[in-house]
Amino acid sequence: MKIIKSKFFSSYPLIIIAALIWLIIVLISYKRNIQEIDNYVFNLALNEARTNFERDVIYRRWVTLEGGVYVPVSEYTQPNPYLNVPNRDVQTTNGQKLTLVNPAYMTRMVYDLGLKDQRVKGHITSLNPIRPANKADVWESKALNLFEDGIKEFYEIDTANGLNTFRYMAPFVTEKACLKCHAEQGYKEGDIRGGISISVPFENYTASAAGQKNGELIYHLILGLVGLTVLLIFNKYSDELKTKQILYESLKKEKELNELKSRFITTASHEFRTPLTIIQSYTELMLLQVPENNKEKFKKYTSVILNSVSSMTGMIEELLMASRAEEKKITFNPEPIDLFKFLNDFLERSILDKNKNHNIELNYLCETKIFNLDPKHLNTIFLNLISNAQKYASAENSIRLTVKCDSKNLHLTVEDNGIGIPGKDIPFVFERFHRAANSGSIQGTGLGLSIVKYLVELHNGDVSVESELNKGSVFKIRIPLDRNVV
Ligand code: ATP
Ligand code: MG
């Protein structure tokens, strides 16, 4: 039986498509998670910047509401040259000099203090500053211009100077209290006067994000590999299932064909048997009334008819037997038999080829005589082996049938000095319908030895052959004694 794996069933393209889809899903999930981590750290930095901004605004508002605060003049706090208000510098009754610190001055001094050791830096700025040093840088100018257009806050990661800095800026809106100092510049209540920009170093956030991103990478690599492994296992399993399915279908088909063949052989054999029996019976009746004038010819013709009928009947019997053996429908009914007597009877009542008067020698070399064997099958075995020896050897040669026993086995051999079997045919002679190359015009179907093998195996034994071309053949049967000796 040949199993052809159909291209249709080959699941390689499917598995590759499934693997690609899986890898794309894993990649999309990885990209999304990375994006979420980036968004998360961005929002953390934004919150930090906003919190700083709001804190600064609230301090400034307090100072603004108070109209500024007087602080002692010191090396650190000198009178603000940009503050042009009355009573900027005052003196206490005990001579202590005080100077007025306005919100912008306070914010700048606080930021200057923080410049050295604070992580988050602030810068108070304006497009039109009273103090030139408060001038906006490029990024701040951009933000301030956007505020003029109505934008409430502006932030982004600034990579200028090779640093990753999260920059945030929101505007100052001129309040009534601011006009005390800024009315001079032309500001009205509600105008955007400037802003505070906050810079948060982004490296810390990037570093903590990097750890999470590595985790995501490992997780998605594992996820991808697990998916691919599951797909491969599934593919292998489904391939095996498909192969099993094909095998099952083929076996089913072969079984159906065999059943059909057996039914045909059985029906055909029965149909042949009836006319053959009629031919045989009428020929035998004719032999009872041999006409006087042509006696010899009549006998000759009728014997040709009877021989042909018997050979056809033999062939039909063999076909039926082979078919039943194939279907394992042959029963095994062993019974105690006297093997020596059985073989002598067999040779005497032998319906072997009477045209060939071979001498058949029986060498019975066992002490035991009773064996547990199936007599019907034993009969068929010897009928086939001895008829072969007769067919494939000339009548001058004798045939030797030997029976030997050892402690474990019964050995039966049938030996002839006939045409022998060519070496290349020897391994196949027990196969159905195999006939050796030198069998030529000798009649036969090639079924006999396959039946012998089957019947010997029913006895738990085995059969083999040794043969040399033009010298002869020895067929050896071994039957174990354990269950066959009585
Ligand atoms: P049948 O089915 O009628 O017995 P067959 O004799 O051709 O036909 P087998 O008995 O199965 O078939 O034998 C198979 C082949 O083995 C034979 O065709 C023959 O070539 C070879 N063979 C069997 N016995 C002998 C023998 N004793 N000497 C030489 N060749 C043999
Ligand atoms: Mg034969």
* Cβ 448 under 6 angstroms from ligand 1: yes
* Cβ 413 under 6 angstroms from ligand 1: no
* Cβ 165 under 6 angstroms from ligand 1: no
The kind and range of the H/E element at 250 are helix 203-288
CA 278 and chain centroid, separation: 65
- Which range among 72-86, 178-192, 268-282 shows the weakest confidence by mean pLDDT? 178-192
**pLDDT classification of 154: cutoffs 50, 70, 90:** very high
User: Model confidence over 247-289: pLDDT tens digits?
Assistant: 999 999 988 888 888 778 888 888 888 889 999 999 988 888 8
Contact 309, 277 (CB under 8 A): no
Whether the pLDDT of residue 358 is over 90: the answer is no
343 in the Ramachandran plot: left (φ > 0), alpha (ψ -120 to 50) or beta?
alpha
- Which one of 401, 428, 439, 445 would you pick to mutate in the ligand 1 pocket, going by the greatest count of ligand atoms within 8 A of its CB? 439
Rounded to the nearest angstrom, the distance between the alpha carbon of 237 and the centre of ligand 2 is 48
Q: Rounded distance, CA 366 to CA 118, Å? A: 115
More confident residue, 48 or 274: 48
> What residue's CA is closest to ligand 1, atom 10?
448
Q: Rounded distance, CA 85 to CA 476, Å? A: 135
Rounded to the nearest angstrom, the distance between the alpha carbon of 438 and the centre of ligand 2 is 14
Q: Report which bound ligand comes closest to the CA of 475.
A: 1
Mean pLDDT throughout 451-466?
A: 96
Q: Regarding beta strands 192-201 and 399-405, do their DSSP bridges make them parallel or antiparallel, or are they unpaired?
A: unpaired
* Cβ 392 under 6 angstroms from ligand 1: yes
- Check residue 356 and give its pLDDT: 60
- Which range among 8-22, 36-50, 143-157, 402-416 shows the weakest confidence by mean pLDDT? 8-22
Rounded to the nearest angstrom, the distance between the alpha carbon of 431 and the centre of ligand 2 is 12
* Cβ 451 under 6 angstroms from ligand 1: no
The most confident of the ranges 38-52, 231-245, 384-398, 431-445 is 38-52
User: Domain boundaries in the chain?
Assistant: 12-201, 209-298, 330-480
Question: Any residues with CB less than 8 A from the CB of 86 and at least 6 apart, and which?
Answer: none
Mean pLDDT throughout 324-341?
A: 90
More confident residue, 305 or 187: 305
- Which one of 399, 416, 429, 454 would you pick to mutate in the ligand 1 pocket, going by the greatest count of ligand atoms within 8 A of its CB? 429
Rounded to the nearest angstrom, the distance between the alpha carbon of 344 and the centre of ligand 2 is 21
* Cβ 416 under 6 angstroms from ligand 1: yes
Rounded to the nearest angstrom, the distance between the alpha carbon of 481 and the centre of ligand 2 is 27
The kind and range of the H/E element at 478 are strand 472-480
**pLDDT classification of 294: cutoffs 50, 70, 90:** confident
Whether the pLDDT of residue 350 is over 70: the answer is no
- Which one of 392, 431, 473 would you pick to mutate in the ligand 1 pocket, going by the greatest count of ligand atoms within 8 A of its CB? 392
Q: Rounded distance, CA 441 to CA 4, Å? A: 38
The most confident of the ranges 39-53, 326-340, 392-406 is 39-53
More confident residue, 449 or 193: 449
- Check residue 3 and give its pLDDT: 43
Nearest ligand 1 atom to the CA of 451 is 11
**pLDDT classification of 244: cutoffs 50, 70, 90:** very high
Nearest ligand 1 atom to the CA of 419 is 29
Rounded to the nearest angstrom, the distance between the alpha carbon of 452 and the centre of ligand 2 is 10
Whether the pLDDT of residue 86 is over 90: the answer is no
Question: Could you tell me the CA-to-CA distances from 125 to 3, 121, 135, 141 in Å, in that order?
Answer: 85, 13, 6, 9
The most confident of the ranges 241-245, 383-387, 473-477 is 473-477
What homologous superfamily does CATH list for 330-480? Histidine kinase-like ATPase, C-terminal domain (3.30.565.10)
* Cβ 49 under 6 angstroms from ligand 1: no
Whether the pLDDT of residue 167 is over 80: the answer is yes
Question: Could you tell me the CA-to-CA distances from 197 to 57, 107, 166, 468 in Å, in that order?
Answer: 11, 12, 10, 110
Rounded to the nearest angstrom, the distance between the alpha carbon of 282 and the centre of ligand 2 is 29
- Which range among 179-183, 372-376, 382-386 shows the weakest confidence by mean pLDDT? 179-183
- Check residue 466 and give its pLDDT: 97
Q: Regarding beta strands 192-201 and 370-373, do their DSSP bridges make them parallel or antiparallel, or are they unpaired?
A: unpaired
- Which one of 401, 435, 443 would you pick to mutate in the ligand 1 pocket, going by the greatest count of ligand atoms within 8 A of its CB? 435
* Cβ 388 under 6 angstroms from ligand 1: yes
Nearest ligand 1 atom to the CA of 435 is 18
Mean pLDDT throughout 109-134?
A: 83
| CA nearest to 209, candidates 387, 33, 7, 375 | 33
- Check residue 429 and give its pLDDT: 97
**pLDDT classification of 386: cutoffs 50, 70, 90:** very high
User: Model confidence over 437-454: pLDDT tens digits?
Assistant: 999 889 888 999 999 999
Rounded to the nearest angstrom, the distance between the alpha carbon of 388 and the centre of ligand 1 is 6
Rounded to the nearest angstrom, the distance between the alpha carbon of 406 and the centre of ligand 1 is 29
Mean pLDDT throughout 347-364?
A: 75
More confident residue, 193 or 120: 120
More confident residue, 336 or 440: 336
Nearest ligand 1 atom to the CA of 416 is 27
Rounded to the nearest angstrom, the distance between the alpha carbon of 427 and the centre of ligand 1 is 13
How many CB atoms are located within 10 Å of the residue 464 CB? 13
Q: Rounded distance, CA 191 to CA 107, Å? A: 20
Mean pLDDT throughout 473-481?
A: 96
- Check residue 9 and give its pLDDT: 44
Whether the pLDDT of residue 103 is over 90: the answer is no
Nearest ligand 1 atom to the CA of 314 is 3
- Check residue 348 and give its pLDDT: 84
Rounded to the nearest angstrom, the distance between the alpha carbon of 390 and the centre of ligand 2 is 10
- Which range among 199-203, 208-212, 222-226, 285-289 shows the weakest confidence by mean pLDDT? 285-289
Nearest ligand 1 atom to the CA of 472 is 28
* Cβ 318 under 6 angstroms from ligand 1: yes
Question: Could you tell me the CA-to-CA distances from 120 to 86, 154, 162, 171 in Å, in that order?
Answer: 35, 17, 18, 18
Return the residue matching tokens 């063949």.
261
* Cβ 316 under 6 angstroms from ligand 1: no
Contact 479, 460 (CB under 8 A): yes
